[in-house]
Structure 1
Amino acid sequence: MRGSEFAELQAFLAVAEQGSFVRAAEALQVSPSALSQTIKGLEARLDVRLFHRTTRRVGLSQAGERLLARLKPAVEEVEAAVADAAELGERPQGRLRLHAFRVGYQLYLAPLLARFAEAYPDIELDLTLDDQPVDMIEAGFDGAIRLGELLEQDMIAMPLGATLRHCVVASPAYVKRHGKPRTPSDLHRHRCINWRWPGQMHPYQWEFHRDGGWFRVAVHGPLIVNDLRAMLEAAINGVGIAFTVDAWAAPLIREGRLVTMLDEWCAPFDGFYFCYPRQRHHLAAMRTFIDFLKRNG
């Protein structure tokens, strides 16, 4: 492939991703007219129209969509290979964009950040903390911390820590006033703090285990939140009963700020993983980060 042909493909990717000749031209630091001529040259060489152009928008044709699906991962692989070769023999450097569920971040990443920054000062971690699952490749993330049940099949996944266990907790003051539920069905007579997945309309149903099977209970109470830390804080302040994981609540239980209940109905489940697309492993910074997690996990 000649250099001009590769430049045409890069121009195609820029327009497809930006959805605009003007924005793509700015990203490539060329004029919109020059970029338009480059795309016309590519379409002429392939003898197919790649974009539908109107005065308001630019959209991919069927041929353009097919080319984008095959071309984007191939170019990313080439760029990763070049970056990998350039970093050989040098200190790992660059930016890693990471997505993490808040609990996973607090349990497995937050305690390691200072050590990682000290050991690898030239690697910048760009963290997004969000409990909403995202399409990592579409959103441009290099890696993510997420629950095992939410792993995508085409991702490489590395377990972080052991399995987790559900945990039902309330403050000692709440228990003194209202007592403890003896079975999950008793929760309907208690004040429960609901948590809602970001982007979902209905609160998360609490999951329990009995006789080899899982079942869910929809609870009710005075508060619904979309932040797990806020849920625990509300439980500490006596608002009601909360449903969380034992590893996160353990310090508060040891301090006596929370007490557990329904322990015999709570079972272990698949915990958190660090996952990443296969091509991202070629980045020296990513390999360094993965090895660090393995050593310190």
Structure 2
Amino acid sequence: MGRQDTFDGLSEFLAIAKRQSIRKAALDLEVTPGAISQALQRLERRLGAPLFHRTTRRISLTEAGETLLAKIAPAARLIETSLEETLQSSDEPSGTLKLIVERLALPHVIEPILPAFCEAWPNVKVDITVSNKHDDFIAGGYDAGILIGSYIAKEMIAVRLSPPFKWAVFGSPDYFRKYGRPRVPGDLAGHQCIRYRRPGKGDIYRWEFLEDGQSVSIEPIGPLTVNDGKLMQNLASQGLGLIYSSTFHASGKIADGQLEPVLLDYSPGSDGLFLYFTKTAQNLPKVRAFIDACSQLRRLLAA
């Protein structure tokens, strides 16, 4: 019997875990679903444990599968990055740039810079995942992400993209004419608030303020609850209630006169939109090229 390949089935396992679908994993690896299934079965026999729960509608990791993924995903990413560094030994950016970006970054960052970036670097393919949940950054094999600074893991390198922005309460001029403006955070108890349910977490986002040097957290009260920031802004601009957002998120509605900020003096502090990446990834020419493109945009935003 020949020596067994230690890595046999691991690429297929990682692809299935990422896509949660054998069919989609097969498309990513450019093989047949049958080949993916056979490789997975060999790996499971070798390990003596099932790695996925399978039903006719979905596939999900077993406890053994989650343990294996946690152990090998960082190593797989390191191998992938090392290979790319070798392939990209020249200064010419190439390969696939995998990005995970929060939706806010689309109109403010991605859409403005992508046309020029693609024209400047035709050998770079860009793969963008739009999500506000970045917990699987390493396991997902992303090269860089764009997220609000306070949510970025401390071990990442972050580059500011936006000017600092403040968190505040926003309402439409019509709403304020009818119901008045809250003067202090405690006044919100007498107002209709539009609540935001955080995708992926399921909890209601609490409104945070700084009052007399103390942090104050308020759970908003109101008949409307949504899990989409754009919908939340649109409803507020129609006078249906107050929302909690940032001056950057609401900048378009503010400029159009559809929303006005209140309680700015109680803002818990400034934040910003950041590009982030690992120390290893920053040395890849494709990532460096994207960092440079984002830096040029940052200078325009600050002007």
The TM-score, its normalising length taken from structure 1, stands at 0.77
Q: Which residue of 2 aligns with 1:232?
A: 233
Number of residue equivalences = 280
Q: What amino acid sits opposite 1:214 in the alignment?
A: S
| Match of residue 14, structure 1, among 11, 14, 20 | 11
Question: Which residue does 1:131 correspond to in 2?
Answer: 132
How many percent of aligned residue pairs carry the same amino acid?
Answer: 27
Deviation at 1:154, TM superposition (A): 3.1
Cα distance in 2 for residues equivalent to 1:286 and 1:225? 35
Deviation at 1:127, TM superposition (A): 1.9
Change (3 A) 1:212 1:17: same
Are the structure 2 counterparts of residues 122 and 175 from structure 1 closer, same or farther at C-alpha, using a change threshold of 3 Å?
same
Deviation at 1:206, TM superposition (A): 0.7
Any gaps of 5 or more consecutive residues in structure 2? 55-60, 299-303
- Higher helix fraction (1 or 2): 1
Give 2:48's aligned residue.
52
1:165, distance to aligned residue in structure 2 (A)? 0.3
SS in 2 for 1:8: coil
Q: Secondary structure at the match of 2:139?
A: helix
Deviation string 1:37-59 (CA, Å, 9 cap, x unpaired) is: x97xxxxxxxxx96115699899
The residue identity in structure 2 corresponding to 1:181 is P
Structure 1 residues 148-201: Cα deviation after superposition (integer angstroms, max 9, x where no partner): 222223322222233220122111111111111121111111111111110233
Q: Deviations over 1:202-237 (max 9, x none)?
A: 311111112223211111123111111111111111
Residue equivalent to 2:293: 292
Q: CA separation of 1:123/1:163 partners in 2, compared to 1, >3 Å: closer, same or farther?
A: same
SS, match of residue 81 in structure 1: helix
Query: How far is the alpha carbon of 1:19 from its aligned partner?
Result: 7.2
Hey, what's the Cα distance between the residues in 2 that align with 1:55 and 1:272? 37
Deviation (angstroms), 1:18:
5.7
**Which residue of the partner structure matches residue 241 of structure 1?**
242
Unaligned runs of 5+ in 1: 40-48
112-121 or 216-225: which moved more? 112-121
TM-score, normalised relative to structure 2: 0.75
Which is further off, 181-190 or 272-281? Answer: 272-281
Q: Which runs of 4+ in 1 moved over 6 A?
A: 28-32, 54-62, 65-68
Alignment of 1:192-271 (within 5 A): 192-271=193-272
Whether the 8 Å CA contact 2:99–2:143 is kept in 1: the answer is yes
The letter of the residue matching 2:147 is R
Question: Residue 240 of structure 2 aligns to a residue in which SS?
Answer: coil
Q: Residues of 1 paired with 2:223 and 2:123: CA distance?
A: 47
